[in-house]
Each structure stands twice: as C-alpha cells, then as structure tokens.
Amino acid sequence: MTHGRQRTFEGRPLARPDEEVVDQGLGFDLDTLVSRRRMLGVLGLSAAGLGLAACGGGSAGSSVAASATAASGEIPDETAGPYPGDGSNGPDVLALSGIVRSDIRSSFGDASGTAEGVPMTLELTVTDLANGGAPFAGVAVYVWHCDRDGGYSLYSEGITAENYLRGVQIADADGTVTFTSVFPACYTGRWPHVHFEVYPDQASITDSTTAIATSQVAVPEDVCTAVYATAGYESSVRTLAQVSLAEDNVFGDDDGASQLGTVTGDVTSGYAVSLTVGVDTRTTPTGGQLSGDGAPSGAPPSGGRGGARPPGTAPGSPTT
C-alpha cells in the first residue's frame, strides 16, 4: 500500500502506484515511448537509441519492447522451445559432422530417414545493424522445424533417432543463407513456423550460449491453407482453423509483422520463403531456451512462451 506523496515516473503519476514501473499497463508504456521519442528528437538521437531506451527495464514480450524492436529493425528475440537440438537440453545435432548443409530434408550421419511434404526453400538474409545494416557475411545460421506430422526429429515419438529438418548454413557475402526443406505442419496451439539461431561464425555453433539471435519465421495463412489441402497434411487443416497470428503466443506481439516470410510459388513446384533478419550485436540476446530443462516429457517448464505440444510428446510436455 502506498501512503503519502504520489509516486511518479519522469514527472508523471504512476497509474498503479503500488506496482513497479514496468507493470503500469500498455497506456502508460506507450506514453513513455512517445515522450522519449520527443526527447530524443530534441537531442538528435537515433531510432536505435530510442529502441534501447524504451526496452530498459521491460520484459521481452512487452508491447514497448516489440515497438522498439520494430523501430530498430532488429528481429524479435524468441524462445528456441524445448526441441532445439543444439545441446542446451540434451540432443546436440550441431556437434555432428555434416550439419553444415543446405538440403535438410534427409537425416545424416547414422540416421537415414527423409521428411516428406510440399517442397519449400527458406532464404534468410542477415543484416548487421551494428554496422549500418551491412550484410552479415560469415555468420552461421541454424534452422530447424517440425515435419508434416508436427513432430520434431531427435525428440518426438518414432523419430528420436532421426535428425532431419535441421541444418546450418554460413552466410555468403550478401548475408544470405538458403535451405531446401519441406513445408512444416500446424500443430495444436501454434501458428506454422520455423525456428532459427544465428551464431557469430561456424566455430561457435557447438556452444548454444554463443548465439547472437534466436527467433522464428511465420508463414502466411493463404499459403498454409493451400499446402494443408494436399495429401499428408490433413491434421493441419483442423489445427490451423484453431489458431491465428494475432493470438499466437510468439507472433502475437505484432501479428508477426517483422517475422512473416515473403512467399512465392505453388504446391506443385514448391514454395520459396524469404525473410530479412536484422541482428544487433550491441544488444543482449533475450531469446533462447525456455526456462526449465526442456526435456520432451514430464512437467512443463515455468515461464517462457509456448503453449503448444507437437504430436508424439507426452501430455504435460514442454511447449515450443
């Protein structure tokens, strides 16, 4: 209970005087963002500086943080979920010889399975925001996603011995990496998506804590609808009807505006998904593994953002 003098922040009374500044509500956050923009305009500071100021003390999922990220052009930090396969919770595909590859449809090493589905290529162009948005040549990008049944290799029942739909590419002089894959399913509670981590270089991929960005790519609804009308994706028709970008617990901050891939193609020839990924090494990464051990069984971890459980995982499993 607050007594006596009214608590204020930057000269304004707190809307909820008994709570912390970061818990004052969306209206208060937006007023703070606007007032700081005006201040920075007077001082002649950059939009990137505004983004850093607005993020101070807030949570990664807050509306102010999302606005600041959009203003700076930096890709939003997201959870890697409990199925990363990067060694952070057990399975470590990044330590295997052969992980650096462009075609990720088949397993490699001692595994031999192949993921079936509508062909998809994924092109990510990484930009270096700390260097004026120049192409971020030489960074290593690790990509992974579920198969057309909604399962994740290394984790889901029946495919724990497989490592398909996982791979690393090194960005070329244009900052671009390209993967050949298949279109992912839509499983209960999540919008169709692809996970990725960005590492400073190829030598860094064996240590998941060195990732400089962790995020996800969303796929447009019309493309999902077309793909899920084809054989093999029948279960995704029902699950897609139950979710939306606006309500998704990862993309819902801004309806996926900064993570929605641009798509061309068709179900016969396949689809090409592309996204520009702005990475700012001057900011501290806040994405990555959900709190908890992330194992695909037992009680769900506390905290983090998830809310969906792929097929083949036990009830109560962590989400991704």
We report the CATH number of the domain holding residue 268 as: 2.60.130.10
pLDDT of 36 over the 70 cut? no
Distance of CA 10 to the CA centre of its chain: 33
Q: Are residues 56 and 109 in the same domain?
A: no
pLDDT above 70 for 27: no
111 and 242, same domain (yes or no): yes
26 and 154 part of one domain: no
For the chain, how many structural domains are there in total? 2
Instruction: Answer whether residue 90 shows pLDDT above 80.
Output: yes
Structure confidence by residue, pLDDT tens digits, 134-167: 999 999 999 999 999 999 999 999 999 999 999 9
> 157 and 58, same structural domain?
no
Residue 284 has pLDDT above 60, yes or no: yes
**88 lies in some domain:** no
Task: Give the pLDDT band (50/70/90) at residue 39.
Answer: very low
Is the pLDDT assigned to residue 98 strictly greater than 80? yes
Say whether pLDDT at 208 is over 70.
yes
Q: What three-state secondary structure class fits 199?
A: strand
Q: Per-residue pLDDT averaged across 5-26, rounded? A: 55
**Average of per-residue pLDDT across 222-231:** 98
User: Within a domain: residue 317?
Assistant: no
Domain that holds residue 30: 8-72
pLDDT at 310 over 90: no
How does the average pLDDT of the chain come out, rounded?
A: 80
Q: Assess contact for 76 and 69: CB atoms under 8 A.
A: yes
* 144 falls within a domain: yes
Q: At what angle do helices 63-72 and 26-43 cross, to 10 degrees?
A: 30
Q: Are the C-beta atoms of 79 and 288 separated by less than 8 Å?
A: yes
Query: What is the spatial distance between Cα 219 and Cα 17, in angstroms, rounded to a whole number?
Result: 42
Q: Are residues 27 and 151 in the same domain?
A: no
Query: What is the pLDDT, as a whole number, of residue 288?
Result: 79
Q: Which residue has the higher pLDDT, 94 or 47?
A: 94
185 shares its domain with 41: no
Identify the residue whose tokens are 């092109």: 123
Separation of alpha carbons 224 and 239, rounded Å: 11
Mean pLDDT of the 243-266 span: 95
Cα–Cα nearest to 25, from 37, 11, 39, 9: 9
Joined together, the tokens standing for residue 171 give: 């960005």
Q: Are residues 181 and 265 in the same domain?
A: yes
Rounded Cα distance between 258 and 315, Å, is 32
